[in-house]
Amino acid sequence: MRATCATIHLGALRENLRRVRELAPGAKVMAVVKADGYGHGLERVARALEGADAFGVASIADGQRLRAAGASQRVVVLSGPDEAGDLAELRRLKLDAVIHHETQIELLAADADPRPLRVWLKLDTGMHRLGFAPERARDVHARLRALPSVDRDISLMTHFANSDVFDDALTTHQIERFERSVSGLDGERSLSNSAGILGWPEAQGQWVRAGGALYGISVVAGKIGADFGFRPAMTLSTRLIAINRVRRGERVGYAATWEAPEDMAVGVAAIGYGDGYPRHADFGTPVLVAGTRASLIGRVSMDLVTVDLREVPSAKIGDPVVLWGRGLAVEEIAEHADTIGYELTCGVTRRVRFVEDES
């Protein structure tokens, strides 16, 4: 059997939730589980994080999956309804909807169903992606309140563009704009994503929305989750399936991009971009071979990567190879592949075997 495997550490997920609560003691926690729980598996993440106060998802389809898996927590669809039929589905599944656009108010206004939907009013305080202009907060809030199809208990939210830079004036500005625009309005407040929780404790409101932190991943430049007390929730691993001697001057891999500087051993590990390992990972990207750091050489191919074994002379076929996770931060790999850890965990593909681990 192909050894390529993503081990999901359920204990780490649970512990990371505890850590989020420690950092935001006055707030309820919405565990953000979009993109299949950042690639960790929606249902298994929801089970491990059953202590969360709510789940945040990107689509009604994810809400369906959570309800089918027995989740009874609040589930918030972060982009809300797209069309009239969505409202019935939101009600059937008892999902909360984020309302960020005029067209959604029109859907709600045209809705004759008397069972009120729970909504979160989203304001755009500077991200300029989703949300109403803050100047419109009062007007939109009043219009939503007046609709029989909307629950009167409306939550208020915004999203940060750059909260991972802990001294950036944009976040200060976003917090001020949000507070000004909602002052005097009823409803719980929610501003912070993971980086907001870490760097902007004044912005915790009644709800924090934690994604990356729960998976043990940091988006703060130069920092890894462990620097903030989080543990990685995924370890991606495989095994060495070949060890070859390569002579000085010979080249390794597609396009012959890497040249051996001396006679040396090259290991071949059973993982590639077909598994979601980034093709852009450069030479020198670290891997762990039987627990020892070694470097990627040559191009990443679909099913295989090649590894410089000069630092691991005792390596043998069958040795475990860790690509990221315990002992090797996904943030470090992301740096070598010019991306962020979130994209790497989200990108693990279907052919990878997922294994659950209680620790």
Ligand X SMILES: *Cc1c(COP(=O)(O)O)cnc(C)c1O
| Residue 169 CB partners (closer than 8 Å, separation 6+) | none
**Would the annotation count 234 as a binding residue?**
no
**Across-strand partners of 28?**
207
Q: State yes or no: is 38 an active-site residue.
A: no
Query: Both tokens of residue 287?
Result: 């891997």
Q: Which residue's entry shows tokens 């051996």?
A: 260
Name the minimum Å distance from CB 352 to ligand X: 21
How far, in Å, CA of 344 to CA of 265, rounded?
28
Name the minimum Å distance from CB 196 to ligand X: 8
* Mode of pairing for the β-strands spanning 264-269 and 305-308: antiparallel
The residue among 120 and 273 lying less far from ligand X, judged by its C-beta, is: 120
Name the minimum Å distance from CB 299 to ligand X: 30
* Identified catalytic residue from 28, 122, 254, 316: 254
Angle value at C-alpha 43, between 281 and 79, nearest 5 degrees: 80
Query: Both tokens of residue 307?
Result: 């590894």
Amino acid, single-letter form, for residue 332: E
How far, in Å, CA of 351 to CA of 165, rounded?
36
Query: Both tokens of residue 293?
Result: 């750091």
The residue among 205 and 212 lying less far from ligand X, judged by its C-beta, is: 212
Name the minimum Å distance from CB 214 to ligand X: 8
Angle value at C-alpha 159, between 192 and 88, nearest 5 degrees: 105
Residues that bind ligand X (CB under 6 A): 32, 34, 78, 159, 193-195, 209-213
Query: Both tokens of residue 29?
Result: 């926690």
The residue among 196 and 276 lying less far from ligand X, judged by its C-beta, is: 196
* Identified catalytic residue from 34, 273, 277, 342: 34
DSSP codes, 67-111: HHTT--SEEEETT--SSHHHHHHHHHTT-EEEE-SHHHHHHHHT-
Query: Both tokens of residue 103?
Result: 């067209």
The residue among 20 and 271 lying less far from ligand X, judged by its C-beta, is: 20
Query: Both tokens of residue 222?
Result: 């130069």
| Residue 158 near residue 192, CB atoms below 8 Å | no
**Across-strand partners of 209?**
30
The residue among 32 and 46 lying less far from ligand X, judged by its C-beta, is: 32
Q: State yes or no: is 254 an active-site residue.
A: yes
Burial of 98 (0-12, 13-18, 19+ CB in 10 A): buried
**Would the annotation count 129 as a binding residue?**
yes
Residue 181 phi, psi (nearest 5): -75, -25
Name the minimum Å distance from CB 36 to ligand X: 13
Q: Which residue is nearest to ligand X (CB)?
A: 211
Name the minimum Å distance from CB 76 to ligand X: 9
The residue among 213 and 300 lying less far from ligand X, judged by its C-beta, is: 213
How far, in Å, CA of 202 to CA of 280, rounded?
38
Q: Residue ranges for the binding site for substrate? A: 129, 302
Point out the residues that are catalytic: 34, 254
Q: Residue ranges for the binding site? A: 129, 302
